[in-house]
Amino acid sequence: MPSYDIIGDVHGHATLLEKLLKQLGYKKKHGAYSHPSRQAVFVGDIIDKGKEIRAALSIVRSMVDHGSALMVLGNHEVNAIGWQYPDGDGDYFRKRTKPNQEQHQETLDAFPDPQEQMANAKWFQTLPLSLDLGGIRVVHAAWNDESHHEAGKTPYGDYCVPYAFSEFLPARHHYEVLCKGYETELPQGLTFRDDKGKERRHLRTKWWIGATGRTYRDLSLNEAHPSPEIPVLDPKLPKDDYSGEAPVFFGHYAADPRKLILTPKIACLDYGIFHGAPLHAYRWDGEKELSADKIVKMPHK
């Protein structure tokens, strides 16, 4: 069985990524980093937020194109695709609002040529939304068997864009789950403010924990949110705990770095690199239960 190095959200931090790859034993050959006996797997969100986006995407793309790495799409790559394609109603699939542009601006600055922007979008469309590699599963935000299979049926190329953005197409749900995860609405009258001060009513939830018999506090990904100890009644959430044999690796959440391994089968590798957290990787060698001592960190300094 192959050995994999699963790497968390890079968000334009090329210097950290190169240092991490070198520490993991990857060497640059014929324009791409590779390892003699291992393959890297990126959980998505290579672009946006950082200052070295062009270099970071170049590193990852060269590795994927040379076969020394795999990558699943993150929500930022999906949004970059939607940013490029007109929706037929005078706008784009990713609406060009001020907040959306601010989220994507670093990438637009890194690739000011519209032809390069479209070339990146077309390359992103060649990538999967999730990977089942036999011994492990990799997704950006949340694993769901049905979404993995249904998204894999979606045609790629220019025609995949509406599937991710059109509220009228049922396939959008599968993109949302895989790239953004699950959320649930708080009971009436309860809100919280996120790290940017925006008032919110929807909690991101621990998708690997079934909602049956659980409270909002049980399912909340962030203990700082005012999550009440009352039962969750949300039919959109998974009912049962994740019970797959294969461990699942994902990113997306800027999770608590004190909890490297969430369960013996579940690991989040995103701890907020744009907030100063290290870039994380997990060195998987066939084990069926995950261990924190297999995680490699590359700090900013």
Q: How far apart are the first and last CA of the chain?
A: 35
Assess whether 164 and 209 both reside in one domain.
no
Assess whether 97 and 194 both reside in one domain.
no
More reliable by pLDDT, 217 or 265: 265
pTM of the model: 0.94
pLDDT score at 221: 84
* Of 36, 45, 100, nearest in space to 76 by CA: 45
Assess whether 152 and 201 both reside in one domain.
no
Assess whether 66 and 208 both reside in one domain.
no
| % of the chain with per-residue pLDDT over 70 | 95
Is the pLDDT assigned to residue 16 strictly greater than 70? yes
pLDDT score at 274: 86
Which DSSP string corresponds to 203-225? EEB-TTS--TT-BHHHHBS-TTS
Confidence class for position 22, pLDDT limits 50, 70, 90: very high
More reliable by pLDDT, 283 or 155: 283
pLDDT score at 130: 94
Assess whether 123 and 226 both reside in one domain.
no
Question: Is residue 178 assigned to a domain?
Answer: no
Assess whether 149 and 214 both reside in one domain.
no
Question: Is residue 177 assigned to a domain?
Answer: no
β strands within the chain, DSSP E: 3-7, 27-29, 32-34, 38-42, 69-71, 130-132, 137-139, 183-185, 192-193, 199-200, 202-204, 248-250, 261-263, 266-268, 279-284, 295-298
Assess whether 188 and 74 both reside in one domain.
no
pLDDT tens by residue, 225-234: 667 888 998 9
pLDDT score at 202: 86
Confidence class for position 60, pLDDT limits 50, 70, 90: very high
Find the length of the chain.
301
pLDDT score at 299: 94
Assess whether 63 and 194 both reside in one domain.
no
pLDDT tens by residue, 171-199: 888 889 999 999 999 888 777 777 677 78
Question: Residue range 93-110: average pLDDT?
Answer: 95
Is the pLDDT assigned to residue 156 strictly greater than 70? no
Assess whether 253 and 198 both reside in one domain.
no
Is the pLDDT assigned to residue 165 strictly greater than 80? yes
Confidence class for position 223, pLDDT limits 50, 70, 90: low
pLDDT score at 159: 52
Compute the distance between CA of residue 120 and CA of residue 40 in angstroms, rounded to an integer.
Answer: 20
Assess whether 102 and 126 both reside in one domain.
yes
Assess whether 80 and 119 both reside in one domain.
yes
Could you tell me the residue range of the domain that residue 75 belongs to? 3-171+243-298
Is the pLDDT assigned to residue 158 strictly greater than 70? no
Is the pLDDT assigned to residue 157 strictly greater than 60? no
